[in-house]
Amino acid sequence: MKNQKYNNKKVYLDLNIFIDLKDDENGNNIILKSKEHGFKYYYSFGHIYDFLSADENQLKNELKNIERIVDNNYIHYLTHKNKILPQYSYPISNVNTINKSKSKILNNKIYDNLDQYIEKTLHITNSIDRANLIIGINECLKIIKDDNLYKKYRNDLKNRQLHLDKFKKIINENTLKFWNGNLLAIASNIFDLIDTIEKNDDIKDPTRIPFKRITGDFYHCFFAIYCDYFITNDKKFLRKTKFIYDLLNEPIIRNSSKINFIKTKVCNLEKFIEELKKDCNL
């Protein structure tokens, strides 16, 4: 019989948890049994993003491991509704959709009429030189792909007080308008800028420099907002996520409102397993 007190609890597991559970038979069994007590586990684009560069065999094995826990409970961000919503979807089907989208982008020959494309998309005419725009895009891609260049770029930003003050202002403005603006874009800005301005070493992580790693962490932090629990064994990421959730909750607390208050509990796997054993009598 289900424990009625803990029915309908939504849980989001960081990728490292799925990996750890493969070698943790006891923890794995408790997680699976907890589903009989109303705990439901979810995955998101963040988990797929982590494996986009993996070979086909690794991808299939990792997705199968995720699937046996989440039962195809997928959460995604719906732009036109500005909400994180659930749907039933196989992990591999989402990978196929992403690959098809990538193929369309790569085969889209916009460069033949780039001037018209820029004018139509950005609503500008001659204010950007075509050659300089392409150089700028290429330089940006070069920084993102090269971990050393990306590290230098972020350190340069940290050493300029003008930028730091500007970033702090952006974060403050974004926290105030978070629930009334584009959730994904605003959350992404906040997550990326925290490492740049935050002086607390418990929050920032100078070792997490690669752009891909930062982006992957952001997706997990963002989509976990939908759930009651976010479980990660990455200590700095755990503290950073708590810090960001508290930051987003500050304006709501000041206004004595409970609307859109982020109630997601962030903890490591060991603590979560202990809660499951106690709450579900496992």
Q: Are residues 21 and 33 in the same domain?
A: yes
Q: Hey, what are 152's tokens? A: 């230098």
Inter-residue contact 226 to 75 (CB < 8 Å): yes
Across the beta sheet with 39-44, the strand order is 83-88, 73-78, 39-44, 9-13, 229-231, 265-267
Q: Are residues 118 and 193 in the same domain?
A: no
227: pLDDT confidence band, cut at 50, 70 and 90?
Answer: very high
How large is the average pLDDT for residues 54-65? 83
Q: Which of 92-96, 187-191, 207-211, 265-269 has the lowest mean pLDDT?
A: 207-211
Q: Are residues 22 and 126 in the same domain?
A: no
What is the tally of helices (H) and strands (E) in the chain? 13, 6
How large is the average pLDDT for residues 240-254? 83
Residue 135 lies in a domain: yes
Residue 64 lies in a domain: yes
How large is the average pLDDT for residues 4-33? 89
Q: Are residues 235 and 271 in the same domain?
A: yes
**Closest to 45 in 3D by CA, of 9, 89, 106:** 89
Residues of the domain holding 173: 7-108+146-279
Residue 2 lies in a domain: no
Structurally, how many domains does the chain consist of? 2
How large is the average pLDDT for residues 116-134? 47
Residue 1 lies in a domain: no
How far, in Å, CA of 53 to CA of 76, rounded? Answer: 21
Cα distance between the two ends of the chain = 12
Q: Are residues 80 and 181 in the same domain?
A: yes
Residue 192 lies in a domain: yes
Residue 186, pLDDT score: 72
153: pLDDT confidence band, cut at 50, 70 and 90?
Answer: low
Q: Are residues 118 and 235 in the same domain?
A: no
Q: Are residues 81 and 164 in the same domain?
A: yes
Q: Are residues 173 and 152 in the same domain?
A: yes
Q: Which of 145, 170, 200 is the last residue of a domain?
A: 145
Q: Which of 100, 129, 145 is the last residue of a domain?
A: 145
pTM above 0.75, yes or no: no
Q: Are residues 157 and 200 in the same domain?
A: yes
